[in-house]
Amino acid sequence: MGLLDLCEKYFNSSNLYEVLQIPETASEKEVKKAYHKLSLKVHPDRVSEDQKLEATEKFKVLGSIHEILSDKNKRAVYDETKSVDDDDFNVLVDKDWTVYWRHLFKKITEEDIKAYEKEYTGSQEEKDDLKQAYLTGKGDMDYITDHVQFARTEHEPRIREILNKMIKDGEIPAYKIFTHEPAKKKQKRIAKENREAKEAEELKQELGMTSGPNSLELMIRQKQQSRGQQLDSFIDNLATKYGGSNKPKGTKRKAASKTEATTKNKRRK
């Protein structure tokens, strides 16, 4: 089965750009970013055992697509013919795509996360995320703190100030659950955050983890199922900011601090 057939089988489209969910005019950086985002979801090391076989095939397909679209000559041929040389693809199939992936993306460290948080806090991007979460969650602060990066309870006064200004300016409606949140609801949120932080620290101690990159990577896996969507967004942003290729061929693995994450480090190998 050729690459385009596999694209249709696993991603319901034989168009390489549609598989990566990007326009044909996408830049090399956008191609890489899209490949990274999708490959994180199907990386064989990041799925359950019963999903591993299919995830491995999807991972190979995505790697092959990136190999083609990141090569100017191969991309030009594909753009003109909308076809792929299956002989060339058969060579790509035998490639170790895990190694290829690691060479493309460097590891994200705890320092990267802290730097990103500093830049994100107070930015227009944060305001846009707060507005979207507020509207989607209809003013529920539990929803907002669960879906906005770094929206820990310690930041609630600042977050409320931002959202109250939007309400005053007519950008968003004034939901009663936000303007008159019951004290017990907030107390439960704080208790949950403290409980998650304690569990993260206990797990860290149990596994003998340090604060290095490997610790970050293992910790974040614990958060994948419950907060997969936010994690994708978070990692996507980090990858864009800090995840460029290393000259000496570093490693990039999907990493964020569980300790940061479980104290409501929201987001998104």
- Alpha helices, DSSP H, located in the chain: 3-11, 16-20, 28-42, 52-69, 72-81, 86-93, 97-104, 110-120, 124-136, 141-147, 156-168, 176-179, 183-206, 213-221, 224-242, 258-262
pLDDT at 252: 34
For residues 261 and 66, which has the higher predicted lDDT (pLDDT)? 66
The answer to whether 212 touches 9, Cβ cutoff 8 Å, is no
The answer to whether 201 touches 237, Cβ cutoff 8 Å, is no
pLDDT at 103: 65
pLDDT at 153: 82
User: For residue 139, is pLDDT > 80?
Assistant: yes
Dist CA 269 CA 101 (whole Å): 8
Tell me the pLDDT band of 259, cut-offs 50, 70 and 90.
very low
Burial readout 30-50 (b: 16 or more C-beta within 10 A, e: otherwise):
ebbbbbbbbbbbbbbebbeee
Tell me the pLDDT band of 203, cut-offs 50, 70 and 90.
low
Would you say the C-alpha torsion 181, 186, 192, 194 has a positive or negative sign?
A: positive
Percent of the chain surpassing pLDDT 70? 64
Going from the C-alpha of 81 to that of each of 13, 31, 75, 91, 163, the distances in angstroms are 16, 19, 10, 20, 50
Q: What are the structural domains of the chain?
A: 1-102 (1.10.287.110), 108-205 (no CATH)
pLDDT tens-digit readout, 19-78: 999 999 999 999 988 888 888 788 887 777 888 888 888 988 998 899 899 999 999 999
For residues 111 and 5, which has the higher predicted lDDT (pLDDT)? 5
- CA angle 136/195/203 to nearest 5° reads 110
User: For residue 117, is pLDDT > 60?
Assistant: yes
pLDDT at 241: 55
The total number of residues written for the chain in this structure: 269
* Residue owning tokens 């303007």: 179
Q: What is the mean pLDDT of residues 105-114?
A: 66
Tell me the pLDDT band of 239, cut-offs 50, 70 and 90.
low
* Residue owning tokens 């991972």: 59
pLDDT at 51: 83
pLDDT at 236: 57
Tell me the pLDDT band of 261, cut-offs 50, 70 and 90.
very low
pLDDT tens-digit readout, 77-88: 999 999 987 766
Dist CA 180 CA 169 (whole Å): 19
| Mean pLDDT over each residue of the chain, to the nearest integer | 76
Which range in 61-70, 98-107, 248-257 is most confidently predicted, on average pLDDT?
A: 61-70
3-state secondary structure of 125: helix
User: For residue 120, is pLDDT > 50?
Assistant: yes
pTM of the entire predicted model: 0.46
The answer to whether 46 touches 221, Cβ cutoff 8 Å, is yes
User: For residue 258, is pLDDT > 60?
Assistant: no
